[in-house]
Amino acid sequence: MIERDLVIVGGGPAGMAAAISARESGVKDILLLERDQYLGGILNQCVHTGFGIEYFKEVLTGPEYGNRFVEKIKGAPEIEISLRSLVVKLTKDKTLTYIKPGVMEEVRAKAVIMATGCREKTREMVHIPGTRPSGIFSAGLAQKLINIEGLLPGKEVVVVGSGDIGLIMARRFTLEGARVKAVIEIQEKSRGLIRNVAQCIEDFDIPIYFRHKILRICGLDRVEKVVVVKVDENFNDIPSSSFEISCDTVLMSVGLIPENELIEMAGVEIDRKTNQPVSKEVNKTSIPGIFCCGNSFKIYDLADWVSKESAVAGKMAAEYIRSLK
Amino acid sequence: MKPYDVIIIGGGVIGTSIARELSRYKLKVAILEKEEELAFGVSKSNSGIIHPGTQNPIHSLRGRLCVQGNALTRKMSRELGIDFKEVGELIVAFNEEDRLKLVQLKDEAEALGVPRLKIVDRAWLKINEPNLSPEVIAALYAPTAGIISPYRWVYDLAENAESNGVEIHASTKVEKILPSTRTGGDFEIYTSKGGFRSRYIVNAAGLFADDISRLVGIDDFKIRARLGEEFLLDKKKENITNHLIFPLPSKDSKGVLVIKTSDGNPMIGPTAQDVDSKTDLSTSAEGFKKVLSSAQRLVPSINGGDVIAYFAGLRPASGGDFIIRHEAKAPGFINVAGIQSPGLTAAPAIALMVSGLLKKNGLSLKRKLFFHHHRKREAHLFNIPLSETKRLIKRDPCYGDIVCRCEMVSAKEVTDAIKRGAKTLDGIKFRTRAQSGRCHGSFCTTRLMKILEEETGKKPTDITKRGKGSEIVKEDRLCD
């Protein structure tokens, strides 16, 4: 088994910031495991601007923002990067098993930082009844299809929920020539950033329905329409208010869940409702030496804040490793 | 028109079981399936339970075929390299009146030949099924109940039948049949993909068996769709029960169950509701409420928040027992209709019965010199230990290229699935489990599309969820 001082799982904004700061805090032997073929994580598909305002005092796109960190990491001999490497097992004594094409490796670390990000809630998690045709996408998948693959998922879109990715994708679809017919939000205001509501929805005259929800998705092979209903202050349907919107695509943007299945496997205490590690202090978990940062620790609104707080995780891990000697 | 000895209409578990059975003999056999892939009809939403034979009327055909099918499925699952797990079932009683019904169920099942039944008490349940509601006072334990993956079972049967010479024609919808009485010899079958000529037809068309039967003038039965909604729980809850848990059955349904599945995810359901449409697979808010509360009555710790997926299926209900018979008015035409629960279990026994009916009606069954009994088991990383995965990765590096991270499915498994016949994203999902985990394909869909493009030469705009009309994307901005 290979032994390392620090293993960081995830090469998105959180993992990269943690790696850089751990190195600056004196850790000399860092392994960064990234499951994709590039560093940068979700930033790669975020081609819109709005990144870096807090961190660099500049307005950057997602890939530009990510690249600032990639450049720094690539210049650091203390940080070994292993791409296409998926961690499949983590134990409480900090042994990790990861798989990449051709190789399964076990590595034992003095400290581990988990920067595994989050996943989007699905239609199933909010229990929207109806059929299961093609044309139902998470906002993030639609973003990847358009921005990375150059594919247009649909032409008449209804966005469910008004999370930031949903708002940004409403604009993105509009710019691609698709028609965004509605954003449906069950709360009385958007859960996204104010600037996104203004720049992505209001500026493009996209109708947004607050206190409404999708009653049913219809369509045999492809989405054909959704049935929408108004809800009262207790979120109960007001049946007389229901109406239909024809569309070929439903975009789900109803929240994010930290991806913490690996630390759960290791025995870290997890809050069942939020899927976050139970913790009194930022980046810490119930197992000393296993840290968790970025969106896997808690859902952040801005990548800039992920970078800032994950840098703290790098320092904490460095201190922990020093304390072992 | 190409001549065949037997044409089987319908590529679900019944059609493929019959095809596999007939492939032992020197016969020219083909399956015609209207969907793009096999198992895309009734079979895809099956619960995957191999029933022991309980809860069937004593003199019913389905009861007899179920008991026989249970034994045959065990043997065939070994031959075809698919997991069959004997998990056992518990039919539970909440009061003394229920307990008496258990005794009656036990007597009826024993008369059908169901082995090793026993009524277990609260003390036994506390040890062997600790999450069961404390209000359950006793249960009928049927240890021979098992689980299998219903769609992988269909694919494995079909693959083995194909290796023994059976032809499979997908996207082939039967539109018209000229009966043997009109042609004076073979049936002439006209489809969306041209004509076929055959001495015998086996109608295993599931929900549409009445429509197919009507094409040869037999219209004395009707198939009604009975909708069942099922809800899958997160794999983390795999061991929420050790057995399949059944309430006492009602007159026309086995009720809402807590089901163990071959894939690990527990499942709760199904509902049972007669519907008019044979294509509408909608789930409902009421269905969810009903299933959740019924399941919680059996196992109180089941949590609605653990539901990661749901779907609905349609049972092909005839209103009575299975209809399996040769039609004298259309000589050579065999109806296999109204095969609802326990159809998956009974399938191999139904296949034997159908080959008997064919023989009785003049088809000569001569054994092939070489019949491939066995099918090579393919590897699925999700159900093997990591040490085994390590060995596989050494043998083929593509096992280390993980495509679906929620369910740990490698690129190698996906390309294998495509080589073995998957043409759609659902076809890949059913064979490999890619996209069936927590994220529902959010992370792996683009990669799966790319592998399908590479392996089949399809354009991204041609890739579908489950066949024509269900294309994933509308336009390719780089090409169009």
Q: Number of A to B CB contacts under 8 A, please give it.
A: 136
CA distance B205 to chain A (A): 20
Residue of B nearest to A223 (CA): B470
Averaged pLDDT of chain A: 97
**Per residue, what are the HEC states of chain A?**
CEEEEEEEECCCHHHHHHHHHHHHCCCCCEEEECCCCCCCHHHHHCCCEEECCCCCCCCEEHHHHHHHHHHHHHCCCCEEEECCCEEEEECCCCEEEEEECCEEEEEEEEEEEECCCEEECCCCCCCCCECCCECEEEHHHHHHHHHCCCEECCCEEEEECCCHHHHHHHHHHHHCCCEEEEEEECCCCCCCCHHHHHHHHHHHCCCEEECEEEEEEECCCECCEEEEEEECCCCCEEEEEEEEEECCEEEECCCEEECCHHHHHHCCCECCCCCCECCCCCCECCCCCEEECHHHCCCCCCHHHHHHHHHHHHHHHHHHHHHHC
What is residue B378's DSSP assignment? Answer: P
Q: Within an 8 Å CB–CB cutoff, is residue B275 touching chain A?
A: no
Residues 6+ apart with CB under 8 A from B71: none
Of B397, B438, B449, the CB nearest to A101: B397
| pLDDT tens per residue, range A276-315 | 999 999 999 999 999 999 999 999 999 999 999 999 999 9
CB contact under 8 A, A35 and B471: no
Query: Which residue type, as a one-letter code, is found at position B163?
Result: S
Strands ordered across the beta sheet of A212-218? A212-218, A225-231, A237-246
Residue of B nearest to A124 (CA): B309
Question: What are the phi and psi torsion angles at B312 (to 5°)?
Answer: -125, 150
- pLDDT at position A243 is 98
CB contact under 8 A, A129 and B442: no
List CB contacts (< 8 A) between B265 and chain A. Answer: none
Token pair of B121 as six digits: 């008490």
Of A89, A101, A122, the CB nearest to B401: A101
List CB contacts (< 8 A) between B440 and chain A. Answer: 122-124, 138
Q: Tell me which of B308, B440, B446, B462 to substitute to probe the interface with A (most A C-beta atoms closer than 10 Å).
A: B440
Q: Within an 8 Å CB–CB cutoff, is residue B283 touching chain A?
A: yes
CB contact under 8 A, A133 and B470: yes
Tell me the whole-structure pTM to 2 decimals.
Answer: 0.96
Residue B480 · residue B444 · CB < 8 Å: no
CB contact under 8 A, B386 and A84: no
- pLDDT at position B480 is 55
Residue of A nearest to B392 (CA): A102
* Percent over 70 (pLDDT), chain A: 100
CB contact under 8 A, B288 and A35: no
Strands ordered across the beta sheet of A156-160? A136-138, A249-252, A156-160, A179-185, A208-210
CA distance B286 to chain A (A): 9
Residue of A nearest to B466 (CA): A221
- pLDDT at position A108 is 98
- pLDDT at position B286 is 94
Residues 6+ apart with CB under 8 A from B371: B23, B24, B164
Of B398, B402, B470, the CB nearest to A221: B470
| pLDDT tens per residue, range A24-57 | 999 999 999 999 999 999 999 999 999 999 999 9
Per-residue tens of pLDDT for chain B, all 480 residues: 889 999 999 999 999 999 999 999 999 999 999 999 999 999 999 999 999 999 999 999 999 999 999 999 999 999 999 999 999 999 999 999 999 999 999 999 999 999 999 999 999 999 999 999 999 999 999 999 999 999 999 999 999 999 999 999 999 999 999 987 777 789 999 999 999 999 999 999 999 999 999 999 999 999 999 999 999 999 889 999 999 999 998 877 789 999 999 999 999 999 999 999 999 999 999 999 999 999 999 999 999 988 999 999 999 999 999 999 999 999 999 999 999 999 999 999 999 999 999 999 999 999 999 999 999 999 999 989 999 999 999 999 999 999 999 999 999 999 999 999 999 999 999 999 999 998 999 999 999 999 999 999 999 999 999 999 999 999 998 875
ipTM of this model?
A: 0.96
Q: What is the mean pLDDT of residues A192-219?
A: 96
- pLDDT at position A138 is 97
CB contact under 8 A, B390 and A140: no
CA distance B229 to chain A (A): 11
Is the predicted pLDDT of residue A109 greater than 90, yes or no?
yes
- pLDDT at position B253 is 79
CB contact under 8 A, A176 and B477: yes
- pLDDT at position B181 is 74
Mode of pairing for the β-strands spanning B2-9 and B194-203: parallel
| pLDDT tens per residue, range A170-203 | 999 999 999 999 999 999 999 899 999 999 999 9
Q: Within an 8 Å CB–CB cutoff, is residue B474 touching chain A?
A: yes
Domains and CATH numbers, chain B: 1-83+147-220+319-377 (3.50.50.60), 84-146+224-317 (3.30.9.10), 383-462 (1.10.10.1100)
CB contact under 8 A, A129 and B287: yes
- pLDDT at position B479 is 74
CA distance A316 to chain B (A): 29
Q: What is the mean pLDDT of residues A163-171?
A: 94
- pLDDT at position A325 is 78
- pLDDT at position A249 is 98
CB contact under 8 A, A129 and B464: no
List CB contacts (< 8 A) between A102 and chain B. Answer: 393, 397, 400
CB contact under 8 A, A155 and B474: yes
Residue B286 · residue B267 · CB < 8 Å: no
For chain B positions 371-400, those within 8 Å of chain A (CB to CB) are 386, 389-390, 393, 397-398, 400
CB contact under 8 A, A88 and B460: no
- pLDDT at position B477 is 86
Give CA–CA dist B212/A276, Å, rounded: 55
List CB contacts (< 8 A) between A127 and chain B. Answer: 285, 288, 304, 307, 310
CB contact under 8 A, A124 and B440: yes
Q: Which residue has the tokens 């073979």?
A: B186
Token pair of B204 as six digits: 């295993």
List CB contacts (< 8 A) between A153 and chain B. Answer: 472-474
Q: Within an 8 Å CB–CB cutoff, is residue B65 touching chain A?
A: no
- For residue A119, the cross-strand partners are A257
For chain B positions 337-376, those within 8 Å of chain A (CB to CB) are none
Task: Give burial (CB, 10 Å; 0-12/13-18/19+) of B244.
Answer: buried
CA distance A183 to chain B (A): 20
Domains and CATH numbers, chain A: 2-119+256-324 (3.50.50.60), 122-252 (3.50.50.60)
Give CA–CA dist A185/A212, Å, rounded: 6
Residue B480 CB neighbours (<10 A): 11
Give CA–CA dist B349/B61, Å, rounded: 11
The answer to whether B51 is a known catalytic residue is yes
List CB contacts (< 8 A) between A88 and chain B. Answer: 386, 402, 408
List CB contacts (< 8 A) between A138 and chain B. Answer: 439-440, 442
List CB contacts (< 8 A) between B401 and chain A. Answer: 84, 100-101
List CB contacts (< 8 A) between B408 and chain A. Answer: 88
CB contact under 8 A, B477 and A150: yes
Residue A295 · residue A41 · CB < 8 Å: no
List CB contacts (< 8 A) between B285 and chain A. Answer: 127, 129
Give CA–CA dist B318/B323, Å, rounded: 8
CA distance B232 to chain A (A): 10
Residue B10 · residue B223 · CB < 8 Å: no
CA distance B17 to chain A (A): 28
